[in-house]
Amino acid sequence: MAQVLEFKLPDLGEGLTEAEIVRWLVSVGDVVAVDQPVVEVETAKAMVEVPCPYGGVVTARYGEEGTELPVGAPLLTVAVGASEGADASAPAQAPTATPAPTATKAAVTPQAAAPARASASASASASASDEASGNVLVGYGTGAPAARRRRVRRAPLTASHVATALVREPVNGGAGPVPVVSPLVRRLAREHGVDLRELTGSGRDGLILRCDVERAIHQGATQAPPAVGAPAPATAPTPLPASAPAQAPAPAPVAASPSARPGVTRVPLRGVRGAVADKLTRSRHEIPDATCWVDADATELLAARTAMNAAGGAKIALIALFARICTAALARHPELNSTVDSAAREIVRLPEVHLGFAAQTDRGLVVPVVRDAHARSAESLSAEFARLTEAGRSGTLTPGELTGGTFTLNNYGVFGVDGSTPIINHPEAAMLGIGRIVPKPWVHEGELAVRQVVQLSLTFDHRVCDGGTAGGFLRYVADCVEQPAVLLRTL
């Protein structure tokens, strides 16, 4: 006996309310193990694999690749406890059940079966079956043991219940239901290229059995003959309502807006692009920001980096040195390592520095976060920047690696620009921008010389501090850039 359980898109955390299906990892009829990844989805934070907490046979999938689903929407259904032996015995048990007429089963739709799915889902959550782990933590696996729960014995579903649930699933990409119960039958047909919609089942109410598929395979045809021993009909048999593929209605033409012009392209604001748009809009609406900037002579900082890398060991990235300078500056000016609780009208100063850095990837702008940056050395910061940058490019950053920042570095100098007034990464209070480092004429020790000059800008939330604090922070950063020995005083 099998129970058909529904697995819904789980809560993705961090305020995420929807996800886009990128790639299905299983097909209808596949046998899945507990906690096996079944679908790859893209959220506004990252691309993750979603594991299914049930073990059994996949009986239905909801949503095509590219479809965006809200949290709580059905992803797939799994027949828990289904086996080949149970499938083979299903037709023999059919006389003891009271199946619905064929026309009734053919009319079942996912919308009409929603109460049944909800009931199955409630039953799954109430029972602690061995085929379900109860863990659905997205992005981090589901290996952690589930909480101990009472084991409740429930009456198994009848064969007619399983048939009703499984008969809804389209096969081979068709539009209507097919009268087939056994996953083994579906798999056998799929492996041999047999279209189940073209078969007339010999089982009760037109149920397609394994022998029907095997007969079609041996005869090399897609239409099976009447079952042996079945009375010959006086007239041509009327096909099942579900056996003919439904003709999809032609899409209605979309009326062009009066302002539409040839060549205009519309790009949906969703996924990473949509999340960035929402966050920047909220930042502009809520944060009264201001920007100050200063030019600094980075010649000595570059020389110090060259000397450090020449000494051997791990290479030190330039952004790691700026990060080290920032954490020292935040220790002197903790107002900028804070957030504003608007509801309580309070400024919340944070003890740890979780340093975000803007990274441009093929999927858009992402801001990975280096945890506890204030406690890391330059070598440790370099390694973590490199790891997170590579993860961002490959799309494997987890939601936890993209959230929780308290201050952000924005190295827009890599794009060949000198300065910028960036939008603060809400709900943080400040962002340091680093322009390109270029040779410029500079007065050094009373003489005009060519020096390596960088423009630094600080965008800050004017609610957390005044211009004096922001200027003091930026001046300290510039002093450390011009004379790295200044940093030694804070170590």
DSSP state of 206: G
Catalytic residues: 462
SS (H, E, C) 289-353: EEEEEEEEECHHHHHHHHHHHHCCCCCCCHHHHHHHHHHHHHHHCHHHCEEEECCCCEEEECCCC
Asked if 132 and 53 count as a contact pair (C-beta separation under 8 A), the reply is yes
Query: Counting beta carbons within 10 angstroms of the beta carbon of residue 87, is it exposed (0 to 12), middle (13 to 18) or buried (19 or more)?
Result: buried
- Strands 407-410 and 355-357, bridge-based pairing: parallel
Token pair of 136, please? 């659905």
Asked if 160 and 39 count as a contact pair (C-beta separation under 8 A), the reply is no
In the chain, DSSP finds a helix count (H) and a strand count (E) of: 11, 18
How many whole angstroms separate alpha carbon 76 and alpha carbon 81? 16
How many whole angstroms separate alpha carbon 134 and alpha carbon 123? 13
Neighbours of 80 (CB within 10 A): 23
How many whole angstroms separate alpha carbon 283 and alpha carbon 275? 12
